[in-house]
Amino acid sequence: MAEEKKIVRKKIKAAGDLGKFMAKYYYELDAAAKTGDRKIAWCTSVGPAELLRAMGFLVYFPETHSAMLGSTRMATDLIPKANAIGYSPDICSYLTADIGAYLEGVSPLSTIFKGIDGPPRPDILVYNTNQCRDVQDWFEWYGRAYKAPVIGVQTYRNVKEVTPVHAAAIAGQIKDLVKPLEEVGGVALDMDFFKETVGLSRRCSDLWKEVLDTAAAMPSPLTFFDGTTLMGAAVVGRGTQKAVDCYEILLAELKERVANKEGAVENEKFRLYWDGMPVWGRLSAHSKMFAELNVNVLASTYCNSWIFSDLDSEDPFNSMARAYTKLFIVRSDEHKEKYITEMLDFFKVDGVIYHDAKTCPNNSNSRYGLSQRIEKATGLPFLTINGDLNDLRLISDEQTKTNVEAFIEQLEEK
């Protein structure tokens, strides 16, 4: 009998601290929802979290709940519940899984965190359509369900260069959020605290960037699959000291790995870049599949999306407007091509995986020839994986495996 190959994927110790951070975050929200002693704002993952925090709200991000529905593989059975009330199977499977979970009264939070029944009830919901229109529809559904106000920012799309005109218009919309937030929260905006919060968010962003940039080392101390869970603090904790503390610890560990030339994947032979959403229900399977082929998928557009280098504590409204409009997902294909090309060079990769997620066209960048153009410009081959972030009915594991193996063979031949 052939001896089974032992795959070594090195665990990150600081992931334990991140886990504790997430637990505290959810318990704090749950306590506030039960006692009513703090107001809760729901926010989209790249929404104006700094302002909400500075105005005294605890901030809950439904997309992290949807990602948990995906990674626990609960999502696929819940999506049809939302389809049945009129939300198409073709739209965002974060939205449909999350609304399905609400309709069924289930949540992974109750299994992961003892004593928590589910997401905290919102006092207000605040979106930014910078990532997609689905988030607005999603929040408006909950606004009706909870009879809570829904406010938001309508952003530009397909932006080539972010100009002062874009920034001024978005900054104006963020300022317009203040009055309804003061009415719901009962707290006036304290500009000093707002500046401090934006400063902490910038610090978190800078550290998160440094963490992700360590993957440029050869071998890389980090994988994309690690990044999708380590990014939790950047998503839900930006604007807090606790998130900063977590990333300082993580960064120190990764720097030590780099110094010792310790790769996250033993025998790193090929290095790949991932564009698009993760397949949450297959994170571990994909991580294992690539490691078995001595491949490290080490960097991604997705994890980099929580880097907001424009944030400036001295100019909070305008800098938030710039940061949340410069986001990759908001930009034109011309900008995206340039950005991905730079990343391929920076991370010294051998090829690219594009995940074409059926229910998220916003994060699927290979549909209009971008992957071919980048291949032509860089000479780096690519593979498109057809799948989805949450709906496992849209994924063929066999086909993915066959295609990935053939792609790696192609790299070997090269």
Q: Which positions touch ligand SF4 (CB under 6 A)?
A: 92, 94, 131-132, 134-135, 277, 360, 362-363, 389
**Least distance from ligand SF4 to the Cβ atom of residue 42, Å:** 13
**Residue placing its CB nearer to ligand SF4 in the complex, 130 or 319:** 130
Q: In the chain, what is the straight-line distance between the N-terminal and C-terminal CA atoms, in Å?
A: 32
**Least distance from ligand SF4 to the Cβ atom of residue 355, Å:** 11
C-alpha 212/C-alpha 227 separation (Å) is: 8
**Residue placing its CB nearer to ligand SF4 in the complex, 139 or 208:** 139
**Least distance from ligand SF4 to the Cβ atom of residue 47, Å:** 11
**Least distance from ligand SF4 to the Cβ atom of residue 55, Å:** 24
**Least distance from ligand SF4 to the Cβ atom of residue 3, Å:** 41
Which residues does residue 159 pair with via DSSP β-bridges, in sequence order?
A: 331
Q: Which two tokens stand for residue 171?
A: 């900054």
Give the 3-state secondary structure of residue 55: coil
C-alpha 164/C-alpha 166 separation (Å) is: 5
**Least distance from ligand SF4 to the Cβ atom of residue 363, Å:** 5
**Least distance from ligand SF4 to the Cβ atom of residue 170, Å:** 18
Burial degree of 5 (CB within 10 A; 0-12, 13-18, 19+): exposed
Q: Cβ distance 253 to 304 under 8 Å?
A: no
Run of H or E residues at 220: none
**Residue placing its CB nearer to ligand SF4 in the complex, 30 or 388:** 388
Q: Cβ distance 359 to 88 under 8 Å?
A: no
**Residue placing its CB nearer to ligand SF4 in the complex, 44 or 220:** 44
Q: Tell me, what amino acid is at 122? A: P
3-state helix, strand, coil in the chain (%, to 5): 55, 10, 35
**Residue placing its CB nearer to ligand SF4 in the complex, 93 or 384:** 93
Q: Cβ distance 352 to 374 under 8 Å?
A: yes
Q: Which stretches within 147-264 are classed as H helix?
A: 164-176, 178-185, 191-213, 224-230, 232-236, 241-259
**Residue placing its CB nearer to ligand SF4 in the complex, 56 or 281:** 281
Give the 3-state secondary structure of residue 414: coil
**Residue placing its CB nearer to ligand SF4 in the complex, 26 or 328:** 328
**Residue placing its CB nearer to ligand SF4 in the complex, 182 or 333:** 333
User: String of b and e for 369-395 (b: at least 16 CB within 10 Å)?
Assistant: ebbeebeeebebebbbbbbbbbbbebb
Of 151, 119, 141, the closest CA to residue 40 belongs to 119
Run of H or E residues at 374: helix 370-378
**Least distance from ligand SF4 to the Cβ atom of residue 96, Å:** 9
**Least distance from ligand SF4 to the Cβ atom of residue 360, Å:** 3
**Residue placing its CB nearer to ligand SF4 in the complex, 130 or 220:** 130
